Amino acid sequence: MERSLMYLIIFLFVLMLFVNIYFRIKVLRAFRVLRDSRIQFDSALVFQKEKLEQEVIARHPAHARHIRDFAHFLRLSISMAIVLIVLITLMGGLLMYYRKTG
């Protein structure tokens, strides 16, 4: 049991690393387009879809896809990282518990 938990934790850590790299590439790609077009907005708007649509996309409709992609991939990256961190923490706690009782 201990060994399988250790492998699962290692797998989740590697998965978190690759997910982070993948979404970092996606976010940076969308950010590069926004930066080159000199589109700036408050970072808090990334987490508020309605305000992002009303304030930023209304001002820059030609770049709506890039703005939406940037916000979407950033939110998705953060939420996936949180889930994987919680899973790794839970598996680590289980591993510590089984080492004590085993």
Under the banding of pLDDT at 50, 70 and 90, the label for residue 94 is confident
Whether the Cβ atoms of residue 88 and residue 9 lie closer than 8 Å to each other: yes
| C-alpha–C-alpha distance, residues 100 and 44, integer Å | 44
pLDDT in tens, 14-38: 887 888 888 889 888 888 988 998 9
Residue-by-residue DSSP string for 79-92: HHHHHHHHHHHHHH
pLDDT in tens, 46-61: 888 899 889 889 999 9
pTM of the model: 0.75
| Domain residue ranges of the chain, discontinuous segments joined by + | 2-101
Under the banding of pLDDT at 50, 70 and 90, the label for residue 102 is low
**Tokens 């709506």 label which residue?**
64
